[in-house]
Structure 1
Amino acid sequence: KTTGDGILIEFASVVDAVGCAVTVQRGMLTRNADIEADRRIVFRVGINVGDIIIDEGDILGDGVNIAARLEALCEPGGICISRTANDQIGGKLSLSFADLGEQVVKNISRAIGVFGLTAKDIEALPQTDLPRLQPTTASPAAPREPEPVYEQQIEFCTSPDGIRLAHSCIGRGPPLVKTGNWMTHLEFDLESPIWQHLYRELSRDHTFIRYDARGNGLSDREVEEVTLEAFVRDLETVVDAAGLDRFALLGISQGCAVSVAYAVRHPERVTHLVLYGGYAQGWTKRPQTEVERQRNEAMLTLVQLGWGQENPAFRQLFTSQFVPGGTKEQADWFNELQRMSTSPDDAVRNLKAQGNIDITGLLGEVRAPTLVMHARDDARVPFEAGRRLAAGIPSAKFVPLQGRNHLILETEPAFTRFVQEIRVFLQA
Structure 2
Amino acid sequence: MSTPAALRQELRFTHLPSGARIAWARSGHGPALLRAGHWMTHLEYDAVSAMFRPWLERLGQNFTVYRYDERGCGLSGSDDVAAGLESSVEEIAAVVAAAGLPRVALLGISGGAAPAIAYAARHPERVSHLVLLGGYSHGLLCRQLSAEQRAYLQAQAQLIELGWGVRDAPVQQFFTSTMIPDGAPEQVAALNEQQRRSCDAARAVSLFRSRLTLDVRAEIGRVQCPTLVFHADGDAAVGIEQGRELAAAIPGARFESLRTRNHVPLAGEPAFERFCEAMTEFVGAGAGTFNGTAFTPRERELLALVARGCDNLQIAAQLGLAEKTVRNGLSSLYTRLGVEGRSHAVVRARELGFS
Equivalent position of 2:190 in the other structure: 333
Are positions 1:172 and 2:20 aligned together?
no
Q: Do the aligned residues in 1 keep the contact of 2:165 with 2:195 (CA within 8 Å)?
A: no
CA, structure 1 residues 316+225, in 2 after alignment: closer, same or farther (shift >3 Å)?
A: same
1:14-53 mapped onto 2 (5 Å cutoff): none
Highest RCO, 1 vs 2 (Cα 8 Å, sep ≥ 6): 2
What is the Cα-based RMSD across aligned positions, in Å? 1.4
Structure-2 separation of matches of 1:258 and 1:386? 15
Query: 1:107-164, CA deviations, whole angstroms, 9 ceiling, x for partnerless residues?
Result: xxxxxxxxxxxxxxxxxxxxxxxxxxxxxxxxxxx56655xx5332211101122221
Is residue 251 of structure 1 aligned with residue 140 of structure 2? no
- Unaligned 5+ residue runs, structure 2? 286-355
Alignment map for 1:182-331 (pairs within 5 Å): 182-221=39-78, 223-331=80-188
Q: Deviations over 1:195-220 (max 9, x none)?
A: 11111111111111111111211111
Give 1:180 deviation, angstroms: 1.0
TM superposition shift of 1:360: 1.1
Instruction: Give the TM-score normalised by structure 2.
Output: 0.78
SS of the aligned residue for 1:199 comes to helix
Contact 2:165-2:199 at 8 Å conserved across structures: no
- Which one has a bigger Cα radius of gyration? 1
Give the equivalent residue in structure 2 for 1:346: 203
Give the counterpart of 2:263 among 406, 418, 422.
406
Counterpart residue identity of residue 152, structure 2: R
Q: 1:39-96: per-residue Cα shift (whole Å, max 9, x none)?
A: xxxxxxxxxxxxxxxxxxxxxxxxxxxxxxxxxxxxxxxxxxxxxxxxxxxxxxxxxx
* C-alpha distance in structure 1 between counterparts of 2:234 and 2:199, whole Å: 27
Check 1:263–1:358 CA distance in 2 against 1; reply closer, same or farther (3 A cut).
same
2:236 pairs with 1:396: no
Q: Give the secondary structure class of the aligned counterpart of 1:315.
A: helix
How does 1:42-81 map onto structure 2 within 5 Å? Answer: none
Measure the CA separation in 2 of the matches of 1:288 and 1:377: 21
In 2, distance between residues paired with 1:221 and 1:143? 33
Correspondence list, 1:3-18, <5 A: none
2:192 alignment partner, SS class? helix
Q: Secondary structure at the match of 1:398?
A: strand
The superposition leaves residues 249-287 of structure 1 with CA deviations (integer Å, 9 ceiling, x where unpaired) of 111111110110000110001000000010001121122
1:371 counterpart SS class: strand
**SS of residue in 1 equivalent to 2:141:** coil
Letter in 1 for 2:238: V
Partner of 1:161: 18
Q: Which runs of 5+ in 1 are unaligned?
A: 1-141
TM-score, structure 1 normalization:
0.65
Give 1:311 deviation, angstroms.
Answer: 3.7
Maintained 8 Å contact 1:214/1:223: no
State the shift of 1:364 in Å: 1.0
Structure 1 pair 332–404 and aligned structure 2 pair: CA distance change class (3 A): same
Q: Are residues 145 and 227 of structure 1, via their aligned partners in 2, closer, same or farther at CA, if it must alter by over 3 Å?
A: closer
1:187 aligns to what SS in structure 2?
A: helix
Aligned residue runs from structure 1 range 60-139, under 5 A: none
What letter matches 1:353 in structure 2?
Answer: S
Work out the CA distance in 1 between the residues paired with 2:95 and 2:172: 30
Q: Classify the secondary structure of the residue corresponding to 1:295.
A: helix
Q: Distance in 2 between matches of 1:281 and 1:393?
A: 13
Instruction: Specify the SS of the correspondent of 2:269.
Output: coil
Q: 1:143 to 1:253 in 2, by over 3 A?
A: farther
TM-fit CA distance, 1:227: 1.2
Say whether the 8 Å CA contact 2:81–2:87 is kept in structure 1.
no
Distance between the aligned counterparts of 1:145 and 1:341, measured in 2?
20
Change (3 A) 1:427 1:308: closer
How far off is 1:314 after superposition? 2.4
Aligned length: 285
Secondary structure of the structure 2 residue equivalent to 1:318? helix
Contact 2:12 2:24 in 1 (8 A): yes
